[in-house]
Amino acid sequence: MASIYKRGPYQWQVLIRRKGFETQARVFNTKAEADSWAQVTESEMVRGVFVSRKAAENTTLEEVLDRYSQEISSKKKGAYQESRRIENLKRHKLAKQYLASIQGKDIAEYRDERLKNVFQASVRLELALLSHLFNTAIREWGMNGILNPVTQIRLPKNAMSRDRRLFQGKVEKLLASCDEYGGDLPCVVRLALATGMRRGELASLTWGNIDLKKRTATLPETKNGEKRIVPLSQEAVRIPRNLPRRFV
């Protein structure tokens, strides 16, 4: 049976005590909202479809972001980049909302605000993080009775791929600057240009990964988590020979 009490001058509290169910309590700003919630909740209990939203109603997005950072993000290869996205989310007003109160319109508002300041690709990554967070919270952390609001909105379109090639003249300027800087940098940059490897792939190279006779470099774990064998041109084979064994 639902009991509704006035709580101070502006709020109404609902208590529902029913045999076989944990006591449910919510506070609303209007009596109409309190009545509506009580009717819906009791109806679900009678029909046997009630799922307690208590955890989601008492946990903020900020709290779940912290848990996600510790338990999920920290185990990813891109943990550092994802930690920056999480900090951006925590600074937004959305982070102060309870999980159960976040709707598609709230996520859409966040999307539109972010698109004014950052690229579409960045917003897509932030929304993908949020979507996985909600799915994890619902499936594994007991945030029952809620939906993933990210699935209710339009995602920003994938930006057209950019041409990242260095055109004639720019390569020479880059290499001249590297030669002026000195150290190992000239060899590293020339190897990057000769192989097309990513920065992280180059940094992880060891002599054990390079076969100068077969002219290949084996990358045991790439960005997508799979092993990759990179064929080496004559120039790419020559460059590592100029590097000290401590480097590669």
Asked if domains 61-152 and 170-241 share a fold, the reply is: no
User: Which of these ranges, 14-18, 61-65, 90-94, 158-162, has the smallest mean pLDDT?
Assistant: 158-162
The winner for highest mean pLDDT among 2-11, 64-73, 74-83, 189-198 is 64-73
Q: What is the pLDDT of residues 16-42, one digit of tens each?
A: 998 888 888 888 889 999 999 899 889
Q: Do the Cβ atoms of 218 and 229 come closer than 8 Å?
A: yes
- What pLDDT score does 222 carry? 66
Does the structure show a pLDDT above 60 at 161? Answer: no
Q: What is the pLDDT of residues 197-236, one digit of tens each?
A: 888 788 888 888 888 888 898 887 766 667 888 898 888 8
Q: Which CATH class is domain 61-152?
A: mainly alpha
Q: What is the mean pLDDT of residues 140-149?
A: 92
- What pLDDT score does 49 carry? 81
Task: Classify domain 170-241 at the CATH topology level.
Answer: hpI Integrase; Chain A (1.10.443)
- Report CA-CA distances (Å) from 66 to 149, 159, 199: 19, 30, 29
Q: Give the chain as a 3 state SS string.
A: CEEEEEECCCEEEEEECCCCCCCEEEEECCHHHHHHHHHHHHHHHHHCCCCCCHHHHCCEHHHHHHHHHHHCHHHCCCHHHHHHHHHHHHHCHHHHCEHHHCCHHHHHHHHHHHHCCCCHHHHHHHHHHHHHHHHHHHHHCCCCCCCCHHHHCCCCCCCCCCCCCCCCCHHHHHHHHHHHHCCCHHHHHHHHHHHCCCHHHHHHCCHHHEECCCCEEEECCCCCCCCEEEECCHHHHHHHHCCCCCCC
Taking the whole predicted model, whether its pTM rises above 0.95 is answered as no
Q: What is the mean pLDDT of residues 105-114?
A: 96
Q: What is the pLDDT of residues 171-181, one digit of tens each?
A: 888 889 988 88
Per domain, the residue ranges of the chain are 2-50, 61-152, 170-241
